[in-house]
Amino acid sequence: MVHEPSAFRAELAAGPGVGSRVAEYWLEERIGAGGMAVVFRARDERLGRMVALKVMAPAVAADEMFRRRFIRESRAAAAVDDPHIIPVYEAGEAEGVLFIAIRLVNGGDVGSLLKREGRLPPSLVASIISPVASALDAAHAAGLVHRDVKPANMLLHIRKGRPDHVYLADFGLSKGMLSNRLTASGEFMGTPGYTAPEQIEGLAVDGRADQYALACSAFELLAGDVPFAESKGWAAVMAHVTKPPPPLTPHRPDLSPAVDQVLARAMAKAPEDRYASCQQFGDALQEALSLARARDAVVPAHGQAREALLSGARTVAGHDAGPTAVKRGRTGGPDSPSWPRRTAQIALAVIAVLACALVAAHVLLRPASKAAGPARFTRIRAFSAPRPPGLWPFVSSVAFSRDGRTLAVGLTNETSASPDNSGTTSLWNVATGRRIAALGSSGGPESFAPGGTMLAAVGGFGNSATSLWDTATGKRVGILADHQDASVENIAFSPNGTTLAAADSNGIVYLWSVPARRVVRTLVEIEATVTSLAFSRSGTILAAGLGNNQVLLWNRATGQQVGALTGAGDAPITSVAFSQDGSMIAASDQSGATYLWNAATRRRIATFHDPSSYGADAVAFSPDGTMLATGDSDGSTYLWNLSARTLAGTLTNPTGQVTSLLTGESRTAVFSVAFSPDGKTLAAADTNGSAYLWRIR
C-alpha cells in the first residue's frame, strides 16, 4: 500500500501532547492526526483565542531543508489575499518543535463530509470547487503551488445567516516539499488518488498540477470515489501516468456528458493541455453541472407519500437515487434519476403516470399552493436599499421594532473577489416603505431593545464588535468589542433591554450590561459554534443553538447551564426561538427540519420538515403562538399551524439578481424571518438584496 513513511507515524506519539505548551500555545484537545502532523485545539495565551495548531512529526521537523521551506511557504501562504485560503496566524519552531497556527473552523473537512454522506449533489460540489479554485489561482499568482489538493484539505466553516465558507488548508504541509533524504526509502510521498503525472515522475510542477488534483477531487465528490479507484498501491499511482482519465457518467448517469469532457481536460496528462487556470476549470465544471443542478433542486427530500412515489420512479428508471448530502451540511434530497430515452413507448407511459402522481402528491402535501397563496398570504411590500457600485449585498437579517413601525434590514456586502466589512443596516418605515436611516459598518445580526429606541447590530464579515444605535437619530451610541477579537456571530437582547447576549466565533457567549457597557458574565463551557441565541420571555433563560446539533439552556443570572434539549437530528442547529408565552421552544436545522419542545418539560412535541428543503435557516413564532415560520434556503418561508401540526402556507420570494459568490441552493436563501408584533405581517430576507413583507392574515 502506498503510504507516508512509517517513521513519521511512529514519532508522532513522541511529540507534545494535550496539556503541554508549544511556544505561546496551550494544547487543550487533540482533534486530528495524519502521517506528518498532529492537530490540536489550542489556546493562544497572548490573544486569548482558540486556534488549530498543527505540530509536525519529529522526523519531519528534523529535516533542515523541510523546516526552512515549511516556514517560508507557510508565511507566504499567510500573505496571499484570498478569503478562501485558511488564515495562518503563525508558523515557526519552538525548542525543536515545528508548528503552524491556523484559524479553528467548525464544520470539519469535505473529505469527512463525503465519508459520512456519500457522493454529493452537483450544486454542492460546484459551491466547494469554485472557491477552492479561486484560492489556488491566488496562491499561484503569488508563486505558490499547493501540491496536495484533496477534499481532506478543504475545510468548511458554518456561519449563521450566511452560506458556509470554504477554506483551502495545508499549503505549508505539502508533502511535495520534503527533501530527498526523507524519501530515500522509496515510499511515495503524496496522496495517490489526486497526484498529477508530472509530480509522480519527479518533474517540475506548477499550478496546473493543483488543477489536476482539484479535478480528481471533483470526480471523487460526485462519484463517491477517486479516479482509478479499481487500482491499488503503486498501480493506483501509475494509473495517473499511464491511463486516460476515466469518465464520470458511468457512476453518475444523471449528469451531462459535458462533465466528462471538462474533467478529462483538467486531468490531461500533459499540463499544457489543461485549462489556463483553476478558476477556468471551476467555471467550466459549474456550467457542465447546471443541468444536473436544476434536477437536484426540485426533488423533494421529505414526506412518506413522496418517498414512496420516488422509490417507484427509481425502480422503473433502474437507478439507485439514494439520499446524498446537500448544501450547509445537511442530509438532502435524492439524486435525480436518469430517465430512459423516448425510444421506448412503455417507458413514456410509465413516466407520465409517475409524473401525474408526483404532481398530485405535491398538491396534497402543500395546502397553501402557489395558486392559492394570494387569497390568504399576500406579498405587500419590498424593501430594497440602493446597491453600492461593485458590491453585492444580500439580506442576512430582518427585525421589527417593538411597536412594529420600523423594520431593520441587515445587508451583508460582498465584492466579486472577497468579503467586505462595510455592511449596512437600513431602517424602514413599514407603513410608507421609505428608508429612514442607514447605519454603516453593520449589516450582521440585529436585535431591537424593548421600545425600539435602540438597535444592536453586528458588522459585516469578520467584525468583532457590536454597535448600539439610537434609532431616532441614526447615531451610534456605544460599541461592545469582543474580548478575544473574534467575529461576533449572534446577538440577542433580554426582554427588559438591560442585557445583550453576544456569541463569538470561538463559541464563547458574553452577557453585556447595556447601561454599563461591560461584560457581567461569560459562558465559556460551550464547545461548539453558537449559531443562534434567544431569551425566554421572562429573561431568565438563554437558549443557544449550536453547530453540533444541540440546544443548550442557561440561567442568565447564575451563568449555569440548566438543561439541554434532546431529540433533534444530526444536522447543525441554525436558529432557535421561544414562543411569546414561554411555553414552547423551536429550533431549525440544516437538514430542513424544525423541532418543537415543551419549555417546561423539555420534551420534543413535534417535528416539521420543509418541503423540497435546501436547509431551514430561520425560525420565528407568531405572537399568539398559533403559527411557526421557517425560512428556507430554497427561497420560501413555510408557515406551520401549531395546533393541527400541518403546513398552512408557503411564501415564495421573487427571484432576482444575486451575488456570484452565492451558488446553487444559496441563490434564493431566506436567512431570516420575523413576525410583526401584531402578528399580521411577516418579513422575509432574501439573497437578492431585498426584504419582503407578507400579509398573513
Q: What share of the chain is helix, strand, coil (3-state, %, to 5)?
A: 25, 30, 40
Residue 237, H or E segment: helix 233-242
φ, ψ for residue 154 (rounded to 5)?
Answer: -110, 115
CA distances from 189 to 4, 61, 144, 237 (A): 6, 16, 19, 11
Per-residue cell: 668:
434564493
CA distances from 93 to 45, 70, 143 (A): 17, 10, 24
- Count of C-beta atoms within a 10 Å radius of residue 199: 22
Which DSSP string corresponds to 290-357? HHHHHHHHHS----HHHHHHHHHHHHHHT----EEEEGGGEEEEEPPP-PPPTT-HHHHHHHHHHHHH
Catalytic residue check, 148: yes
CA 617/CA 409 separation, integer angstroms:
16
> Across the strands, what pairs with 37?
56
Q: Are strands 673-675 and 681-684 parallel, antiparallel or unpaired?
A: antiparallel
The answer to whether residues 188 and 176 touch, using CB atoms and an 8 Å cutoff, is: no
CA 463/CA 470 separation, integer angstroms:
20
Determine which one of 44, 63, 148, 632 is catalytic. Answer: 148
Per-residue cell: 483:
474580548
CA 74/CA 79 separation, integer angstroms:
9
**Which residue reads 489550542 in cell numbers?**
42
354, with CB counted inside 10 A (0-12, 13-18, 19+), is: middle
- Provide Rg for the chain, Cα atoms: 26
CA 282/CA 129 separation, integer angstroms:
6
- Of the candidates 85, 70, 96, the one whose C-alpha atom is nearest the C-alpha of residue 176 is 70
CA 180/CA 352 separation, integer angstroms:
64
Catalytic residues: 148
